[in-house]
Amino acid sequence: MNAPVRPIWRHRGLPWLLPILLLLIWFIISETGAIPTYLLPHPRQILVAAFNYLFAEPGMAPYAGRFLSDFYASMLRVLSGFSLAVLIGLPLGILSGRVEQVSLLLSTSINGLRAVPGISLLPLALIWFGIGLKTTIFLVALAAFFPIYLNAEAGARQVSPTLLQAGAMLGGSPLRGVFSVLFPAAMPHIVTGLRLGMGISWSYLVLGELTGVPNGLGALIMDARMLGRIDIIVVGIILIAMIGKICDSGLHLLLQLCFKSARRLA
C-alpha cells in the first residue's frame, strides 16, 4: 500500500533539489567569506531585507512596505501586455498556419522584427508613449507576441486537413471546426507559446520599468542599484522569479480549466 507514496514524494521533491542545493552553496560561500558581501550579501541579510520589503510598515526602513504597490503595478503591466499579445498573436498565428497567403504576407516582416533586440526599441517606445504604463505594455506585448504567434502558427499548420474534412462531413460549420477540431489539435503548441510568452513578459517588464517609473519590481531593482543596495536587488530578482513561476502555473491551470484538450497535456 505504501508503494505509490515514494514516487509521489520523489516527483514533488525533485524540483526543489536544485534551488536548495544553490541556496546551500550560497550559504557556505557567505560563511567562508569567499565572496565579499558587497558583491553577494549573506542569505540572512537577504531575509531581513525581504521581510522589511514585504511586511514592515512604510518608513521603518528603506523600501519597507512597498511590495503590494510594486506588485500591483508590475502585474498590471504584465497582464495588460500579455493579454494584448494573446489577442493579436493567437488568431494571427492560427490564420497564418492555415492560409498560405497570410503566412507569405506576414512571415518576412514578423521574422525580421523578431530579430530586433527589445532594448533597441526602448528609445522609440519612450518617444512614442513616454515614461510609464504605455511604454512597458508596448514592450511586453511585442516580446510576448512572437512566441505566441509562432507556436500557434506551427500548431495550426501541423493539423491534418483530413480532421477538418471529417468535421465538415459530420455537419460542422467552418467556425465550429476551428474550435472543435483545429484548436484542440493545435493545443500543445498553443500552450507552449502562451507559457513562453508569459515568461518573456516578465523579462521585458523589467526592461520597461528601468526607464524611471516610480513603482514596480523592475523600478525597485533600478532604485536599489542607484543606492548600492545589493540585498534589495537580490530580493527583487528572487520575487520576480517566484511570481513568474506562480503566473506560469496559474496560466497552465487556467488553460486546463477552460479547455479539455489542455487537460490531456498535464
* 261, pLDDT greater than 70: no
* Residue 180: pLDDT over 70: no
Estimate to the nearest angstrom the gap between the alpha carbon of 219 and the chain centroid. Answer: 18
Lowest mean pLDDT among 149-153, 198-202, 243-247, 253-257: 253-257
Amino acid at position 58, single letter: P
The band of 76, judged by pLDDT with boundaries at 50, 70 and 90, is: very high
The pLDDT of 39-62, averaged and rounded, is: 89
The pLDDT confidence band at residue 172, using thresholds 50, 70 and 90, is: low
What is the residue type of 146? F
Listed as own residue / partner, the contacts of 119-127 with beta carbons closer than 8 Å and 24 or more positions apart are 119/207, 122/207, 122/208, 122/211, 125/208, 126/211
Distance, CA of 220 to chain centre: 19
CB 77 within 8 A of CB 214: no
CA distance 125 to 130: 7
User: Mean pLDDT of all residues in the chain?
Assistant: 84
Taking residues 127-135, report their average pLDDT.
85
Lowest-pLDDT range, 43-47, 57-61, 228-232, 245-249? 57-61
Asked if the model's pLDDT at residue 205 lies above 60, the reply is yes
If pLDDT is split at 50, 70 and 90, which confidence band does 1 have? very low
| pLDDT given for residue 96 in this prediction | 92
How far apart, in whole angstroms, are the C-alpha atoms of residue 22 and residue 107? 42
Query: 89 exposed, middle or buried (CB, 10 Å; 0-12, 13-18, 19+)?
Result: buried
pTM of the model: 0.85
**CATH code 1.10.260.40 for 90-263:** no
C-alpha cell at 47: 531575509
The more confidently predicted of residues 180 and 253 is 253
Angle at 90 between CA 89 and CA 96, to 5 degrees: 85
What is the arithmetic mean of pLDDT over 217-241? 91
Most confident region among 60-64, 83-87, 210-214 by mean pLDDT:
83-87
Distances from the Cα of 57 to the Cα of 63, 110, 216, 233, angstroms: 10, 47, 18, 20
Q: Where are the domains of the chain?
A: 90-263
Whether the per-residue pLDDT at 69 is higher than 70: the answer is: yes
The Cα–Cα gap between 6 and 16 comes to 16
pLDDT tens track for 138-150: 999 999 999 999 9
The rounded distance, in Å, linking the Cα atoms of 193 and 145 is 9
Give the whole-angstrom CA distance, residue 197 versus residue 190.
10
Asked if residue 75 has pLDDT above 90, the reply is: yes
Long-range CB pairs of 240-249 (<8 Å, 24+ gap) are 240/202, 240/206, 243/71, 243/74, 243/75, 243/202, 243/217, 244/198, 244/199, 244/202, 247/78, 247/198, 247/202, 248/195, 248/198, 248/199
- CA atoms of 237 and 226, how far apart (whole Å): 16
Higher pLDDT, 3 or 18: 18
Percent of the chain scoring above 90 in pLDDT = 38
Lowest mean pLDDT across 57-71, 72-86, 168-182, 222-236: 168-182
Output the pLDDT for position 114.
87
pLDDT at 9: 57
Q: Is residue 252 classed as helix, strand or coil in its secondary structure?
A: helix
Q: What angle do CA 87, 192, 251 make, to 5 degrees?
A: 65
246 CB-near residues (< 8 Å, 6+ apart): none
Is the predicted pLDDT of residue 263 greater than 70, yes or no? no
State the average pLDDT over residues 50-64.
88
